[in-house]
Structure 1
Amino acid sequence: MTDAEQPATIRLEVARYRPEQDSEPVFQGYDVPLMDDWAVLDGLAYVKDRLDGSLSFRWSCRMGICGSCGMNVNGEPRLTCGSFLAEYGDGPIRIEPLKGFPVIRDLVVDIDDFLDKLSSVRPWLIREGEEPPLTAEYAQTPEQLDAYKQYSMCVNCMLCYSACPVYVLDPDFLGPAAIALAQRYNLDSRDMGDRFDVLNLDEAVWGCVFVGDCTRVCPKHVDPAEAIQRYKLTAALRSVLPWSRR
Structure 2
Amino acid sequence: MKNVEVTVLRYDPDEDESPKYQSFPIEAKKNMTVLDSLFLIVEDQDPTLSFRCACRLGMCGSCGMLINGRGRLACRTKIEELGDKITVQPMRNQTVIKDLSVNMDNFFTNMEKVKPYFVPKEDTDEFSIIPPSSGRREIIDENQDCITCGLCYQSCDAVAIRGNDFIGPAALSRAYNLIADERDGAREERLDLVTEEDGAFGCHSFGACVEVCPKGIKPMVTIQKIKMKKIKRSLGLKW
Q: With structure 2 as the length reference, what TM-score do the two structures score?
A: 0.92
Which structure 2 residues correspond to residues 1-246 of structure 1 after superposition, within 5 A?
Answer: 7-91=1-85, 93-129=86-122, 138-142=128-132, 143-171=135-163, 172-194=165-187, 195-241=190-236, 246=239
- Give, in whole Å, the separation in 1 of the partners of 2:13 and 2:95: 12
The Cα offsets for residues 63-117 of structure 1, whole Å up to 9 and x where unpaired, read as 11100100001110011111111111221x1100001101111101111111111
- For 1:4, the equivalent position in structure 2 comes to none
Gaps in structure 2 of 5+ consecutive residues: none
The Cα offsets for residues 147-182 of structure 1, whole Å up to 9 and x where unpaired, read as 101111100011111111111121111110000000
Gaps in structure 1 of 5+ consecutive residues: 1-6
What is the number of residues matched between the two proteins? 234
> What is the Cα-based RMSD across aligned positions, in Å?
1.8
- Give, in whole Å, the separation in 1 of the partners of 2:13 and 2:116: 35
CA drift of 1:226 comes to: 0.8
Q: Secondary structure at the match of 1:72?
A: strand
CA drift of 1:146 comes to: 1.6
- Give, in whole Å, the separation in 2 of the partners of 1:190 and 1:137: 5
* Stretch of structure 1 that moved more, 137-146 or 200-209: 137-146
Q: With structure 1 as the length reference, what TM-score do the two structures score?
A: 0.90
Runs of 4+ in 1 over 3 A off after TM superposition: 134-137
Q: Is the 8 A contact 2:2 2:28 kept in 1?
A: yes
- Give, in whole Å, the separation in 2 of the partners of 1:24 and 1:104: 13
- Give, in whole Å, the separation in 1 of the partners of 2:28 and 2:218: 33
Q: Secondary structure at the match of 1:153?
A: coil
CA distance 1:196–1:136, change in 2 (3 Å):
closer
- Give, in whole Å, the separation in 1 of the partners of 2:216 and 2:104: 22
* Stretch of structure 1 that moved more, 194-203 or 35-44: 194-203
Q: Is the 8 A contact 1:140 1:189 kept in 2?
A: no
- Give, in whole Å, the separation in 2 of the partners of 1:22 and 1:203: 34
CA drift of 1:21 comes to: 1.9
Matched residue type, 1:234: K
* Stretch of structure 1 that moved more, 136-145 or 60-69: 136-145
* Stretch of structure 1 that moved more, 54-63 or 135-144: 135-144
CA drift of 1:136 comes to: 10
CA distance 1:17–1:239, change in 2 (3 Å):
same
Q: Secondary structure at the match of 1:47?
A: helix
CA distance 1:137–1:206, change in 2 (3 Å):
closer
- Give, in whole Å, the separation in 2 of the partners of 1:137 and 1:231: 22
Matched residue type, 1:116: T
